[in-house]
Amino acid sequence: MGRITVKDIVKQFELEILCGKTGLNRVVTVSDLYRPGLELAGFFTHHPVERLQLLGKTELAFLESLPKDVREERFYRLCHPDLPCICITRGLSVPEELIRAAQDNQVPLLRTSMPTTRFASKLTNYLEKHLAPTTTIHGVLVDVHGVGVLILGDSGIGKSETALELVKRGHLLVADDAVEITQLEEDVLEGSAPELIRYLLEIRGLGIINVMTLFGAGSVRDKKKISLVIRLENWQESRQYDRLGLDEERMRIMDTELPLLTVPVRPGRNLAVIIEVAAMNYRLKAMGYDAAKQFVQKLGETIEEADDVD
């Protein structure tokens, strides 16, 4: 999981710091935001102090209607020492009581000119992206005909060489050697390359090459949704490999299961073409056409017709 501080949010959205600069290094742990409602009326029993607090026109108008002593008491209870920060939207004026309460508890008090709903939407998207669960897998990620294909296999089996051949055939490299995978939402995984090795390929005997420099900016992309996993393994004579495509293996990465194809490697097999066809076949299946099932269905019909003739 990523790490976000209040300072990162201030920088990203160019927020005005009203007070509480000493608390800018506070870590934000959840992507959910909170607009206090019942708390402003005095009910703090279930106040989620781990969330960023937003105060807009409605909240401030209600607080202004309260007697001065009550307003001060609500502000002090609202500025819990564990709060990441409080943000005022629409560029509204901030009551002095709130500034004093934030200062006393060292809670960062921020302000933006954006409307509350718009700012909440942008901030939520930002937090969900940077706080999403992440993992790193040893492999290669390529964009083949619009399908994000994650290529796995033992070191030296030919993953990078296959990726190079795919790039030469017009497909896009996303990451080589280390693929950083982020779970953006349920059943959605996005892969990218670490900054240090972005656009680079390691080819044994040749060394490290920069794909974007050699093949142009149209041969790479920064990130891609992962749809298919292909595992390369050395050909094993004792193993029975799927010849029809009816056996559907799955691979779990974090909380998401992806279709998995195991491709045996032996001299003479063009892995780039096989992966290219696998990606196109995946797209056909997504559109409702499964060649293997169609074949089995026609085979069954042919057998039935032969039995009827007998």
Instruction: Tell me: is residue 56 an annotated ligand-binding position.
Output: no
pLDDT-derived band at 80 (thresholds 50, 70, 90) equals: very high
**159 annotated active-site:** yes
Say what the pLDDT of residue 194 is: 93
List 57, 138, 168, 298, catalytic entry = 138
List 243, 266, 308, 310, catalytic entry = 243
> Cα(159)–Cα(118) distance, rounded to whole angstroms?
44
Q: How many residues does the chain have?
A: 310
**177 annotated active-site:** yes
Instruction: Tell me: is residue 218 an annotated ligand-binding position.
Output: no
Say what the pLDDT of residue 2 is: 65
pLDDT-derived band at 310 (thresholds 50, 70, 90) equals: low
Instruction: Tell me: is residue 303 an annotated ligand-binding position.
Output: no
Say what the pLDDT of residue 266 is: 83
For 156-274, strand residue ranges (E) read: 172-185, 188-192, 200-203, 207-210, 223-225, 228-234, 249-253, 256-265
| Residue entry with tokens 């795919």 | 166
Domain 4-130 has CATH 1.10.760.10: no
Instruction: Tell me: is residue 170 an annotated ligand-binding position.
Output: no
Whether the predicted pLDDT of 230 surpasses 70: yes
Count Cβ neighbours within 10 Å for each residue of 119-147 and write b for 16 or more, e otherwise: bbeebeebbeebbbeeeebebbbbbbeeb
The pLDDT > 70 percentage for the chain reads 92
Instruction: Tell me: is residue 146 an annotated ligand-binding position.
Output: no
**310 annotated active-site:** no
Digit-coded pLDDT (tens) for 177-203: 999 999 988 889 999 999 999 999 998
* Domain at 134-294, CATH from 3.40.50.300, 3.40.190.10, 3.30.1340.30, 2.40.50.140: 3.40.50.300
Digit-coded pLDDT (tens) for 250-260: 999 988 999 99
List 35, 100, 129, 177, catalytic entry = 177
Say what the pLDDT of residue 212 is: 94
Poorest-pLDDT segment among 87-101, 159-173, 280-294? 280-294
Q: Which residue has the higher pLDDT, 181 or 289?
A: 181
Q: What is the pTM (predicted TM-score) of this model?
A: 0.72
List 159, 171, 224, 231, catalytic entry = 159
Cα 257-261-263 angle, rounded to 5 deg: 150
Instruction: Tell me: is residue 65 an annotated ligand-binding position.
Output: no
Q: Report H helices in 79-146.
A: 96-105, 116-130
Domain range annotation of the chain: 4-130, 134-294
Say what the pLDDT of residue 308 is: 63
Instruction: Tell me: is residue 148 an annotated ligand-binding position.
Output: no
> Cα(229)–Cα(251) distance, rounded to whole angstroms?
8
> Cα(127)–Cα(272) distance, rounded to whole angstroms?
38
Average pLDDT, integer, range 22-35: 93
**130 annotated active-site:** no
